[in-house]
Chain A
Amino acid sequence: MTAIVTPPTVPAGDPATTVPDDGDGAVLRRRRGLPTRTLLVLLSLVTVAAYLVFRTDGAADSDDAPAFRFFDDVRAWVDANRDTSPLFIYGVNYLRLGVRLLVDAVQGALYGLGFAGLVAAVTAIALVLAGWRTALVALGGFLAFGVLGLWPESVDTLVLTLSAVLLSVLIGVPMGVLAARVRWIGAVLRPVLDVMQIMPTFAYLAPMTLLFLIGQPASVIATLIYALPATIRITALGISEVSPVTVEAATALGSTRWQLLRKVRLPLARPTIVLAVNQTIMLALSMVVVTALIDANGLGQNIVRALERVNVGAAFDAGLAIVIMAVVLDRVTSGAARAARHRGVRPARRIRWILAGLAAVAVAVISVLPAINATDLPQFSFAAPVNDVTKWVELHWYEATEGIKNAASAGLLDPLETVLTTTPWWLFVLVVAAFGTLVSGWRAALLAALAAAGLAGLGLWLHSMQTLANVLVAILLTMIIGVALGVFCARHDRLAGAVRPVLDAAQTMPSFVYLLPAVALFGASRFTAIVAAVIFSVPPVVRLVERGVRDVSAAAVEAATSAGSTPRQLLWKVQLPMARGGLLLAANQGIVMVLAMVVVGGLVGAGALGYDVVAGFSQREDFGKGLAAGFAIVLLGILLDRLTHGFQNAKGPRQ
């Protein structure tokens, strides 16, 4: 922080009086807010009283709830009928087979190119789509896979990612167009996409294996489910953003609807659709890695392995390879998106370019390259140095980390957990409904309350509340760190520039990579999962907060400064209150990510729902409970998202 010279005479009054209206009719504090606040206080008091009267002893969940038995029966039925029921032999199994063929085709193509061929092809594609700088990044990146000794794994991951992206685009783009053009389809899709996006990745691994067994097809389909909402949403956005004037003009010239779509809407929406592909690729990559738990090959296997051996160094190499792949794919596709925007509607020439580039590659490959192998490259691994550092940290920081863990667990987590688990479920449902109505409106509140009731119905009340306690502690820490960093970045441009690539890299890492540093520091515990969740969800929070603070109108800042506000007053009384929309949006986004990560913590001793899911797909007698826990996680996600949904159309002035 730079030294701040405080002017001697600062009017330290209420910001509403010191800061004038910025002229857009936005007021800093709504009068209407006051009754809501009073209501909130009253409700809180009633809640506390009700809790004290009705609290329970937080009995353990039974191992034999009706929901578990139901899911066990479902599994038994599927196991018995997988090769006889028409649903499977004409439906699900064909789906599996189709995806298998697709994966085999993509795999055949990439393997067929060989090491040098693939490197050359990727470089050429990058060159044509995004220019020579990106081509250099691509070249360096793909060579790095070889140097790290992770070439085959990287290619396998690429195969799965591309297969899933291909399917996502084939399904998502037409659906996006439909969603934008046909009102009822859009309306039906919206809640479905909402749920798909809230669903933590971890929750659908077990259902995937139930339907599609283990292996690449199940992995690709799980990835598809994860990535598809982004494809549909961004495509729909692109189509609906096409200027009505242009459409009007084309209609006036006598275009048919089909012509309108093909010649006007799709070409004009092309930059946005390319952006959709870009986002789809990023999401798919992070999911493909997680599906290693259901036997997807590739880099994910290295990470699972490292996690099982608590080998931070080995995970570092694999994590680095994933980040490199994400950077290359991102640069190439976002370069393509930029090019699409600049060059506008002239695809034919570009396609010719691409073909020319590919032809050149083909010639090069056939003539010289097949002799070169990935193993010919000099090898380098970060495993040993990273492990040395880890060992040192474990040895020297042990007392400190142990102290932090115990303090946080005893001081924050345990009391919260006790309160939540001893609340009777009906009281919790009522409280959710009441607060939800105030914060997000009655519709969202109803949904949230139903989700809360569903948790009890599944017979997983205790575990759900334990998970919720972890989530709440993690989101609290995330917001504290995220807001501090975000504000800092918003005020220091150079720092923001330096932090941005780190945030980019952090967001492409698949969630369970973050377990490793957390485990190394804190051993197996709930706090470990919380730490991992904080690392995982801080980047987007920082970004949203920074955006929110930067978006505060210059006029308001100017006015406050000229009225003599100190930088601190400016921050606390002007920038933060006015950036409230951004902060609350960050909380809403953050909480869903935190949930996704906290349940993955079930892999490292965080217990509760995450453990149930892990046990469910690795212990036969726990299958039903695991599947139910998967549903409980989804319900918890819906609950948290709906409750904080009102934040998005926040009461902040900037909206």
Chain B
Amino acid sequence: MKLRTAAAAALVMTLAACGGATSDAGEGKPAASTGAKGTVKLAINPWVGYEANAAVIAHLLKSKLGYQVENKELKEEVSWQGFETGEVDAIVENWGHDDLKKTYIEQKKVAVEAGPTGNKGRIGWFIPQWMADEHPDITDWKNLNKYADLFKTSESKGKGQLLDGDPSFVTNDKALVANLKLNYNVVFSGSEAAIIKAAQQANAQKKPLLFYFYEPQWLFAKEKFARITLPPYTKGCDTDPKKVACDYAELTLDKVVSKKFADSNSTAYQLIKNFQWTNDDQNLISDYITNQGMTAEKAAEKWATEHEATWKAWIPAGS
């Protein structure tokens, strides 16, 4: 710590001499720059699937490669800002975000892609299965207005309620509702956990609910929900976020790391780059965390002992 302070002080002087400080002045060196085992800063975005990825990576970094790991609870877009300042080394489940990629990878050149996670991400609208059984035509978006009354709540201003998640999640729902002329109001529950709770209640107490959700998601293995068919996705139909009137695309979820972290080419970077698994793997860990009362660390450890064949391939050669 003292070294870092001294280095930073020296940096101030140098900068004063040659004029001006850049925005990342004084921030720590990239975690694992010189082969010395440093600290890897992982952004933790607020959904349990992401947490599963991060937990397994953190577990392997710590136990197999000897790094320290610092978790940062950050929303998606805020994490990207962390690449600029050095607060974040890696995002380990990125949902598209082409606009951010353009800004931070192409323009600012502070981040680089580190390959897919192997997970396919699919966002959509869902209702509990019993509703689809009762009203077979409800799963077509064209009929949603007919049933809007069912979904009324205290928050939906006399319209039907479409329950969304964290305001920071990737969503076109407000635009979709407007552009498809649906008599619905988007209400943000604030978190994935809140949607899950509402969805479980909807099944347990037979309460109507229309909600935003996504795969990979452990809940789909436990309870039955029906997907609403939206107008089909065509390439480019979601370019203008205000004019979207089509379904969500299936996304290849990927990893993004800071440029400095990638340039270090440390074993930590290589592990994150090599990391690749399936939706089932992720759902298993999410289930451990959510329903079996395990901490993320414990869940990752359990998975790692059970699935050595999967992660063996991620460990960089020669380490």
Interface residue ranges, A against B (CB under 8 Å): 63, 79, 82-83, 86, 88-90, 93-94, 96-97, 100-101, 104-105, 107-108, 111-112, 209, 213-215, 292-295, 297, 301, 304-305, 307-311, 405-406, 409-410, 519, 523-527, 602-605, 607, 611, 614-615, 617-621
Contacts of B82 in A (CB 8 A): 214-215, 295
Interface positions of B from 3 to 51, Cβ below 8 Å from A:
4-5, 8-9, 11-12, 15, 19-23, 25-27, 44, 46, 48
B8 engages A89 (CB within 8 Å): no
Expressed in whole angstroms, the Cα–Cα distance for A406 and B4 within the complex equals: 56
A94 engages B21 (CB within 8 Å): yes
A104 engages B8 (CB within 8 Å): yes
The 9 closest A-B pairs by CB, nearest first: A89-B20, A618-B168, A409-B154, A108-B1, A93-B21, A310-B193, A524-B189, A604-B190, A308-B46
Interface positions of B from 59 to 79, Cβ below 8 Å from A:
71-78
A604 engages B8 (CB within 8 Å): no
Interface residue ranges, B against A (CB under 8 Å): 1-2, 4-5, 8-9, 11-12, 15, 19-23, 25-27, 44, 46, 48, 71-78, 81-82, 84-85, 87, 99-100, 103, 108, 153-155, 163, 166-168, 187-194, 197-198, 241-242
B23 engages A308 (CB within 8 Å): no
Contacts of A86 in B (CB 8 A): 20
B73 engages A519 (CB within 8 Å): no
B23 engages A83 (CB within 8 Å): yes
Q: Which residue of B lies closest to A294 (CB)?
A: B78
Contacts of B191 in A (CB 8 A): 307-310, 604
Contacts of A309 in B (CB 8 A): 48, 191, 193
B19 engages A89 (CB within 8 Å): yes
Contacts of A94 in B (CB 8 A): 21
Contacts of A611 in B (CB 8 A): 167, 188
Contacts of B193 in A (CB 8 A): 308-311
Q: Can you add 13 more A-B contacts, CB < 8 Å, to A213-B87, A519-B194, A526-B154?
A: A96-B26, A100-B26, A104-B1, A213-B23, A295-B72, A295-B74, A308-B193, A519-B190, A524-B188, A524-B194, A525-B153, A525-B187, A619-B77
A626 CB to nearest chain B CB (Å): 10
B241 CB to nearest chain A CB (Å): 6
Point out which of B23, B108, B188, B190 has the most chain A C-beta atoms below 10 A from its C-beta. Answer: B190
Given A89-B22, A96-B25, A97-B21, also A604-B87 (CB < 8 A): no
B76 engages A105 (CB within 8 Å): no
Expressed in whole angstroms, the Cα–Cα distance for A142 and B189 within the complex equals: 36
Expressed in whole angstroms, the Cα–Cα distance for A301 and B12 within the complex equals: 30
Expressed in whole angstroms, the Cα–Cα distance for A523 and B193 within the complex equals: 11
A391 CB to nearest chain B CB (Å): 11
B155 engages A605 (CB within 8 Å): yes
Expressed in whole angstroms, the Cα–Cα distance for A561 and B11 within the complex equals: 75
9 A-B pairs with CB atoms under 8 Å apart are A97-B15, A213-B85, A297-B72, A301-B71, A308-B191, A409-B154, A603-B167, A618-B167, A620-B103
Partner of A295, one of B4, B11, B12, B87: B87
Partner of B188, one of A215, A304, A607, A620: A607
Contacts of A305 in B (CB 8 A): 44, 73
Expressed in whole angstroms, the Cα–Cα distance for A611 and B27 within the complex equals: 31
Expressed in whole angstroms, the Cα–Cα distance for A65 and B228 within the complex equals: 33
Q: Which residue of A lies closest to B87 (CB)?
A: A215
A214 engages B78 (CB within 8 Å): yes
Expressed in whole angstroms, the Cα–Cα distance for A615 and B73 within the complex equals: 17
B198 CB to nearest chain A CB (Å): 7
Q: Which residue of A lies closest to B185 (CB)?
A: A607
Given A108-B5, A213-B84, A295-B87, also A607-B155 (CB < 8 A): yes
Contacts of B194 in A (CB 8 A): 310, 519, 523-524, 604-605
B99 engages A620 (CB within 8 Å): yes
Q: Total contacts A to B, CB within 8 angstroms? A: 170
B183 CB to nearest chain A CB (Å): 14
B188 engages A101 (CB within 8 Å): no
A605 engages B2 (CB within 8 Å): no
Q: Which residue of B lies closest to A63 (CB)?
A: B242
Q: Which residue of A lies closest to B196 (CB)?
A: A310
A101 engages B5 (CB within 8 Å): yes
A524 engages B190 (CB within 8 Å): yes
- Interface majority SS (helix, strand, loop, mixed), chain A: helix
Expressed in whole angstroms, the Cα–Cα distance for A297 and B193 within the complex equals: 22
A301 engages B25 (CB within 8 Å): no
Contacts of B9 in A (CB 8 A): 101
A380 CB to nearest chain B CB (Å): 16
Q: Which residue of A lies closest to B205 (CB)?
A: A398
Expressed in whole angstroms, the Cα–Cα distance for A561 and B1 within the complex equals: 69
Point out which of A214, A405, A525, A526 has the most chain B C-beta atoms below 10 A from its C-beta. Answer: A214
Contacts of A96 in B (CB 8 A): 21, 23, 25-26
B217 CB to nearest chain A CB (Å): 15
B78 engages A620 (CB within 8 Å): no
A620 engages B77 (CB within 8 Å): yes
A83 engages B73 (CB within 8 Å): no
B177 CB to nearest chain A CB (Å): 12
Expressed in whole angstroms, the Cα–Cα distance for A619 and B153 within the complex equals: 26
Q: Which residue of B lies closest to A83 (CB)?
A: B22
Point out which of B20, B27, B108, B153 has the most chain A C-beta atoms below 10 A from its C-beta. Answer: B20
Point out which of A101, A294, A295, A410 has the most chain B C-beta atoms below 10 A from its C-beta. Answer: A295
Partner of B8, one of A101, A292, A620: A101
A605 engages B154 (CB within 8 Å): no
A524 engages B78 (CB within 8 Å): no
Given A108-B5, A310-B194, also A93-B25 (CB < 8 A): yes
Expressed in whole angstroms, the Cα–Cα distance for A209 and B77 within the complex equals: 12
Partner of B25, one of A97, A410, A527: A97
Q: Which residue of A lies closest to B293 (CB)?
A: A384
B1 engages A107 (CB within 8 Å): yes
B73 engages A605 (CB within 8 Å): no
Expressed in whole angstroms, the Cα–Cα distance for A80 and B14 within the complex equals: 24
Contacts of B26 in A (CB 8 A): 96-97, 100-101
Expressed in whole angstroms, the Cα–Cα distance for A82 and B108 within the complex equals: 11
B243 CB to nearest chain A CB (Å): 12
Expressed in whole angstroms, the Cα–Cα distance for A311 and B73 within the complex equals: 15
Expressed in whole angstroms, the Cα–Cα distance for A582 and B21 within the complex equals: 51
Expressed in whole angstroms, the Cα–Cα distance for A209 and B74 within the complex equals: 13
Given A101-B5, A101-B26, A525-B155, also A614-B189 (CB < 8 A): no
Contacts of A523 in B (CB 8 A): 189, 194, 197-198
Given A410-B154, A523-B198, also A214-B5 (CB < 8 A): no
Expressed in whole angstroms, the Cα–Cα distance for A97 and B15 within the complex equals: 11
Partner of B187, one of A307, A405, A607: A607
Q: Which residue of A lies closest to B168 (CB)?
A: A618
B190 engages A104 (CB within 8 Å): no
A523 CB to nearest chain B CB (Å): 7
Q: Which residue of B lies closest to A108 (CB)?
A: B1
Expressed in whole angstroms, the Cα–Cα distance for A311 and B51 within the complex equals: 15
Expressed in whole angstroms, the Cα–Cα distance for A602 and B76 within the complex equals: 17
Contacts of A108 in B (CB 8 A): 1-2, 4-5
Q: Which residue of B lies closest to A86 (CB)?
A: B20
A528 CB to nearest chain B CB (Å): 9
Expressed in whole angstroms, the Cα–Cα distance for A297 and B71 within the complex equals: 9
Q: Which residue of A lies closest to B186 (CB)?
A: A607
B4 engages A527 (CB within 8 Å): no
Given A86-B20, A295-B82, A301-B73, also A308-B192 (CB < 8 A): yes
A90 engages B155 (CB within 8 Å): no
Q: Which residue of B lies closest to A406 (CB)?
A: B154
Expressed in whole angstroms, the Cα–Cα distance for A111 and B194 within the complex equals: 37
Expressed in whole angstroms, the Cα–Cα distance for A105 and B26 within the complex equals: 12
Expressed in whole angstroms, the Cα–Cα distance for A213 and B27 within the complex equals: 12
Expressed in whole angstroms, the Cα–Cα distance for A636 and B163 within the complex equals: 28
Contacts of B21 in A (CB 8 A): 89-90, 93-94, 96-97
Contacts of A405 in B (CB 8 A): 154
Expressed in whole angstroms, the Cα–Cα distance for A101 and B13 within the complex equals: 13
Given A524-B189, A527-B154, also A618-B81 (CB < 8 A): no
A282 CB to nearest chain B CB (Å): 24
